[in-house]
Amino acid sequence: MSDALQSELQARLSALVDPHTGQPFAEQIRLSLRGDRAAVRVQLSYPAAGWHAALVEMIEGALCHDGQVSAVTVEIDTELVAHAVQDGLSPLPGVGNVIAVASGKGGVGKSTVAANLALALQAEGARVGVLDADIYGPSQPRMLGLEGKPQTTPDRRILPMRAHGLQVMSIGVLVQVDQAMIWRGPMATQALQQMVSETQWSDLDYLIVDLPPGTGDIQLTLAQRIPVAGAVTVTTPQDVAVDDVRRSVAMFNKVRVPVLGLIENMSTHVCSNCGHEEAIFGRGGGQRMAEEAGLSLLGEIPLDAGLGRSTDTGAPIVAADPEHPVAQRFRDIARRVGARLSLQARNQTIRMPKIRIVE
């Protein structure tokens, strides 16, 4: 094969657009030719195991459609690195990237989204943990089915609990289930800081932090004192939620934490009897909110009976029913979250180990 053909085929591959980042592959994809057989290596910077087969098809289509290439071998490498955090803060030991999941108000299903997002990132090939930062109303112990108390190390570090492969820590496993957290703001923020600093996380690519709703003391503590690589905000479709999204985004902007995008929860209702999907809260609200706030719409999650039941029983839908359409939507969202974060600047003080996945 001529050098001209190799250059032409390489140009075709470089021009392919990654649907998760919205960017051409450019330097991420390399081609070698032997006769009419091609070998392609792709370098991804976010977890996307569930998309590998589609990516291989995309590459084969670009190379084989005119008959000049008879066979294609594709090798996909994935390298997850730590990204930059707020000025003056250092990454948490054992954690590559902290991603905050926030909402402007309660009742939007943020904790459900956080739990399933963590499981979806894990299903895509990452090592993931969950920190339940809602001191007054921790939800993750029930949602993830945690039982018992965490263990501690000889130097009094807290070992995170394990649930569905995730590393998890919550105030809910440190106090009695029926104990009311009647704490003023400084006590709550101190509890959060202790959980963050005293938990011995182990080789995480992502730590998902489930924030309480609003923009109060807990949120500001996390945004100012805990190294956060990016944030995701959760909302519902109603136009009345626009102001809440703006407040949440404004808080992160003030402390220089990039907002990776918006997730619209309860976007539609799926009938459990016939499967009919209806936009009972209106259609397109999430897209309008994303545009008004200058954000990407990362995905839409329907109001589905299976989704609610699964978290009530301690097995979120991504873990309990991985092939369910809602679970697949969470995996789509997880890839977009990882991809959006991959576009941020890298942290130069730490480099996470390389994960190599070969297809």
- Is 108 annotated as ligand-binding? yes
Distance CA(53)–CA(152), nearest Å, equals: 42
Q: Is 165 one of the annotated binding-site residues?
A: no
Q: How far is CA 231 from the centre of its chain?
A: 9
User: Which one-letter DSSP state was computed for residue 104?
Assistant: S
What's the DSSP call for residue 28?
G
Q: Are 62 and 170 in contact (CB under 8 A)?
A: no
Dihedrals φ, ψ of 115, to 5°? -65, -45
Written as one letter, the residue type at 292 is E
Residue 104 assigned as binding residue: yes
Residue 257's H or E segment, with its range, is: none
Known binder of ligand: residue 337? no
CA 100/CA 318 separation, integer angstroms: 19
Residue type for position 145: G
Q: State yes or no: 306 annotated in a binding site.
A: no
For residue 155, what are its two tokens?
Answer: 């130097």
Burial 142-160 (b: 16+ CB within 10 A, else e): bbbbbeeebeeeeeeebeb
- Strand, helix or coil at 347? coil
Strands 297-303 and 355-356, sheet pairing: unpaired
Give per-residue burial for 192-222: e unless 16+ CB within 10 Å, then b: beebbeebbbeebbbbbbbbbbbbebbbebb
The DSSP symbol for 318 reads H
Is 286 marked within a binding site? no
* Residue found by looking up tokens 């999204």 in the block: 245
Distance CA 83, CA 230 (A): 9
109 labelled ligand-binding: yes
- Residues annotated in a binding site: 104-111
- Residues annotated in a binding site for ATP: 104-111
